[in-house]
Chain A
Amino acid sequence: MIKKIKSLAFAAAVTLSGITGAQAEGQGLLDTIIERGSLNCTGHNGSYLGFAEVDANGAWQGFDIEFCKALATAILGTPDKANIVPISWAQRFPAIQSGDIDVIIKVTGWTMTRDTELGLQYSRPYFIGPFYVMSKTELEAKSVKDLEGGVFCVNAGTTIERVLTDYMETNGISYEPLSFEKGEELRAAFYAGRCDAIAGFGPFLSATRVNAPNPDDFEILGDVLKLEPEGIVVRQGEDDLLDVVNWMVSALLMAEENGITQANVDEMKANPPSASIGRLLGATPGVGSRLGLQDDWAYNVIKTVGNYGEIYSRTIGEGSRYKLPRGLNNLWSNGGLLYPLVLD
């Protein structure tokens, strides 16, 4: 039923996007955000492991939330201006069309339908979502191939079912699938030993492992079943805002590449080791005005949330409960897929 409503809402949203587009004409969304003094981002209707969680005081935190804060800081100078709107998965595309939210930062995969038919525009991927397999340590599997004929548990009704089927067919591995409706049931079954392995989104598997009675009983295998590049989404035609989003992500990566951290950013700004770092941090003017922002926007962002690596570690990586390895989300120089753009 939810799917039906989704497509209904999509249809309506797409038909009507012409109207809202016309309303917004004359002033780009970026200017509207600056004028309004707040940035409306996506939260979640609940907590989504590591990406958008609510702490005991009702405050939002997580990987996606940090990017929202970073964007708010870039545009408005302070993370307090980020207004996190609770939004369900089904609601995010209609909500961005209706103007309830300005950007979608919600582990949203870059797919052709969304990009072309829904009137949306994607930023460069800020997170590479990997699907992995986790198995019992006692099986001593080194790769998915070693689990031939085993029972694989998955969440029903999600893309993971298809991803797993595709991977297994392509690689000619036979297996016995077992689906569960809810994540909790899936975990309980896995802990109880009903499955030889479970397949799923990296962060979910990490959380499952961390919460296991004995985490060492389980290990995540290195094989990547599939990648889903996650982008930040804006409405079609909001080029100014999209530019800011892209350069914000790039600035976070460039900071990591050059060893600029939350702790040493002041020092770096005072004595930039290279001309491009000086430009990034606003010591040499120019980085802001070209985007319609203050020249110290990137400095503010790094000062507030740190570089990409710091955000990752704090929310889903080593410094968090999830301990999700950087893997493909590392910089290119460390064997990952991420790279900054050229700041000239």
Chain B
Amino acid sequence: MIEAVPPPSARMSTLNWARKNFFATWYDAVFSIILAVLIIMGLNALIGWAFLDAIWSVENKDQCTYDAGACWAVIESRGRLILFGLYPYEEQWRSTIACLVVISTIALSCLPVFWSIRRIPILWIAGFTIFVLLMRGGFAGMPLVSSDQWGGLSLTIFIFAGVFVIGMPLAVLFALARRSNLPVIAKSFGFFIDIVRSLPLLTILFAAAVIVPLLLPEAIQGNKLMRVVIAFAIFFAAYQAEIIRAGLQSTPKGQEEAAVALGMPYWSLISDILLPQAFRNTLPSTINQAVITFKETSIVTIIGFFEVMASGNAAIGNGEWGNQYVEVYVFLALIYFIFVFGLSRYGAWLETRMRLGHA
């Protein structure tokens, strides 16, 4: 009889793991070593540049030479310009609070407690009203700041949130209209969506900002920021509508027929059966679209808005800090990264959660 041998331990020692994955053959070993050296050299250079040799304060600005590390003094000196744009200096606390209000509105609407047809709109209308009141002022001793002067990060967030909030209901509407049983509605909305999608975003925004005032009388023009957000929202909605339509088409036809056979009213069919499944099935593409939209907000700089990217350019576009563009772009990249990474992590969390609910 042969004695039973215990199975090999599932947990490998670190050494074994490394041997198996990096040093299995002689050429594996060579590549691994070369790569490791390159990575260490890169990290070393990066850490040296960004931290060890960096110049942190404006007093040491004269040390910001070409051989030195990162000159973070530019952020100390111009950081508020990057974050707030042309917003009046003394009033920037308002912009900060307004920004936090919108961020917390976004955060709150991620909580399942608020996921109902009534609560979400109330939350958003409240958040938006507070934002606009704070930014605009003109009451309670806060001087009026017109939307021309809004800028920096809060403008970027405002545009993104505005586009999402106006665009999402529009997208649902477009998607449903395109699937309508009435050929006139279905055809005309299909045509409209295709037209909007075949125009570059820049053209649409430029037209909204510059051409519309030439066509419409002043009374119904609205202000420039409003026009741009609405135009952007329509553009977003045209894309998002197609994503939602894909979701609607992915639900088995039988469910819809069963609901109709049971005599469910149309809105109940849409909001209780089709839309929840459509949103769940298209969540990855929706998050994708949101991320793209967030990054595309920087296009509004071409029509003279000081969103965070334009403010960054304003920060380096002078003789004093003209050489510190790398530092400013890194800073901007970090800001974008925080938001976009946050968005995609949230998307991943939602997917897990929904899968649990689905099971």
Which residues of A are interface residues toward B (Cβ below 8 A)? 1-2, 5, 8-9, 12-13, 16, 19-20, 43-50, 53-59, 85-88, 90-91, 94-95, 97-100, 184, 187, 191, 207, 210-211, 213, 320-322
Contact = CB atoms under 8 A, between A and B. Distances in A.
Contact of B318 (A1, A49, A100, A213): A49
Interface string B52-86: 00000000000001100000000001101100111
B121 interface: no
A85 B316 CA distance: 19
A58 B325 contact: no
Nearest to A90: B302
B252 interface: no
B313 interface: yes
18 contacts: A16-B214, A45-B313, A46-B301, A46-B317, A47-B314, A47-B318, A49-B317, A49-B319, A50-B318, A53-B318, A54-B317, A57-B89, A85-B148, A88-B304, A91-B304, A187-B322, A207-B322, A211-B323
Given A1-B202, A58-B87, A86 B317 contact: no
A134 to B, nearest CB: 15
A5 to B, nearest CB: 5
B45 interface: no
B225 to A, nearest CB: 12
B88 interface: yes
A211 B310 CA distance: 22
Contacts of B88: 58
Nearest to B221: A98
B214 A98 contact: yes
A321 B322 CA distance: 11
Contacts of A5: 200, 202-203, 206
A95 B303 CA distance: 10
Interface in B203-222: 203, 206-207, 209-211, 213-215
Contacts of B323: 187, 211
A213 B62 CA distance: 11
Contacts of B303: 45, 88, 91
A228 B254 CA distance: 71
Nearest to B212: A98
B320 interface: yes
Contact of B77 (A1, A45, A56): A56
A174 to B, nearest CB: 32
Interface in B233-263: none
Contacts of A20: 214
Nearest to A97: B214
A322 B319 contact: yes
A56 B81 contact: yes
Nearest to B77: A56
A302 to B, nearest CB: 26
Contacts of A100: 210, 213, 224
A125 to B, nearest CB: 24
Contacts of B320: 321
B305 interface: yes
A48 B210 contact: no
Nearest to A101: B304
A19 B217 CA distance: 11
Tell me which of B65, B80, B302, B304 has the highest count of chain A C-beta atoms within 10 A of its own C-beta.
B304
B145 to A, nearest CB: 11
B319 A320 contact: yes
Tell me which of B77, B151, B209, B318 has the highest count of chain A C-beta atoms within 10 A of its own C-beta.
B318
B306 interface: yes
Given A58-B88, A86-B304, A45 B310 contact: yes
Given A9-B211, A16-B214, A322-B319, A56 B80 contact: yes
Nearest to A19: B214
A45 B66 contact: no
Nearest to A184: B325
A224 B351 CA distance: 64
A43 B319 CA distance: 17
Nearest to B203: A5
Contacts of A49: 317-319, 322
A9 B215 contact: no
Given A54-B317, A100-B224, 4 more contacts: A12-B211, A56-B77, A91-B210, A100-B213
Given A86-B305, A86-B306, A95-B210, A8 B319 contact: no
Contact of B86 (A2, A86, A187, A213): A86
Contacts of A97: 214
A67 B227 CA distance: 31
A161 B313 CA distance: 23
Contacts of B215: 16
Nearest to B309: A46
Contacts of A91: 206, 209-210, 302-304
B86 A58 contact: yes
B102 to A, nearest CB: 20
Contacts of B203: 5, 8
A97 B151 CA distance: 25
A2 B319 contact: no
A90 B301 CA distance: 11
Contacts of B213: 98-100
B318 A46 contact: no
Contact of A13 (B202, B209, B214, B302): B214
Nearest to B302: A88
B304 A87 contact: yes
A213 B231 CA distance: 46
Given A47-B314, A98-B214, A58 B322 contact: no
A46 B319 contact: no
A12 B214 contact: yes
B359 to A, nearest CB: 48
A43 B318 CA distance: 14
B89 A58 contact: yes
Nearest to A93: B210
Contacts of A45: 301-306, 310, 313
Contacts of A43: 304
